[in-house]
Amino acid sequence: MNHPLKALSDSLTAPWWSHLERDEFAMPRCLDCGRWHFHPQPRCPHCGGTSVVWQQASGRGEVYSFTVVHRAPSPAFATEVPYTIGIVATEEGPHLMTRLIGIAPDAVRIGLAVRICIGPMIGDGPPLALFQPDPDRASGLACPAS
């Protein structure tokens, strides 16, 4: 698959995209200290180790913070406003920015249980790591992006 975001990728970040293409949510994990991190870095931010592998993660987490965007940063997002950008604290530890879907912007709360939903955010766009309310821990929802 070729898309503009994948074209930005390099040897450090390419596994993120190749996992998403396989419908997998993976993050780097250090074999020296066992801890996960994100974004990918040349050295483990926890212990400085360089034996880092990508492992599939649970895809579960909770909303650490969020913002509802009312003014699009560029014309590409103009038809989507308002939308909710979140930071999710994953079960494995790392925090990551994402789009929160399957929930009205004014219903989002910090602490909301969420789970991964891999799919395009716009039309035929590339698969992204989106998050939605967790059907096991909240009201059940189909993944709107798949």
Partner 1 sequence: MSSMILGARSQARIVGVGESPLGKVPDLSALQLQQAAAQAALDDAGLDWSDIDGLLTTPVRVANWAMPCGVVAEGLGIRSPRYLATLDVAGASGTAMVHQAAMVINAGQCDTVLCVAGQNLLTHSARADAVKQMAEGGWAHPQFEAPYGPLIASLYALVAQRHMHEYGTTPEQLAEVAVAMRAHASLNPLAQKRTPITVDEVVSSRMITSPLHVLDCALVSDGAAAIIVSRADRARDLRRRPVEILGQGYGFSHAYVGPYERLTATGAADSGRAAFAMAGVRPAEIDVAELYDCFTITVIVELEDLGFCAKGEGGAFVQGGRIALGGALPVTTHGGLLSACHPGLAGGMFHVIEAVRQLRGECGERQVRDARLALAHGNGGVIGIHCTLILGTD
Q: What is the contact surface with partner 1 in residues (CB under 8 A)?
A: 5, 8-9, 13, 16-17, 37-39, 64-77, 80, 83, 85, 87, 89, 94-99, 105, 110, 121, 128
Instruction: In angstroms, give the least distance from the CB of 14 to partner 1.
Output: 10
| Beta carbon of residue 101, minimum distance to partner 1 (angstroms, whole number) | 10
Closer residue to partner 1, CB minimum distance, 64 or 138: 64
In angstroms, the CA 34 to CA 101 distance is 31
Residue among 20, 40, 39, 38 at smallest CA distance from 125: 20
Find tokens 């709107």 and name the residue: 144
Smallest distance from partner 1 to CB 74, Å? 5
Element (H, E) at 17: helix 14-21
- Give 54 or 66: the residue with its C-beta nearer to partner 1: 66
Strands (E), the chain: 26-30, 52-56, 60-69, 83-90, 95-100, 113-120, 127-133
Residue 129 or 140 having the CB closest to partner 1: 129
Closest to partner 1 by CB, 42 or 140: 42
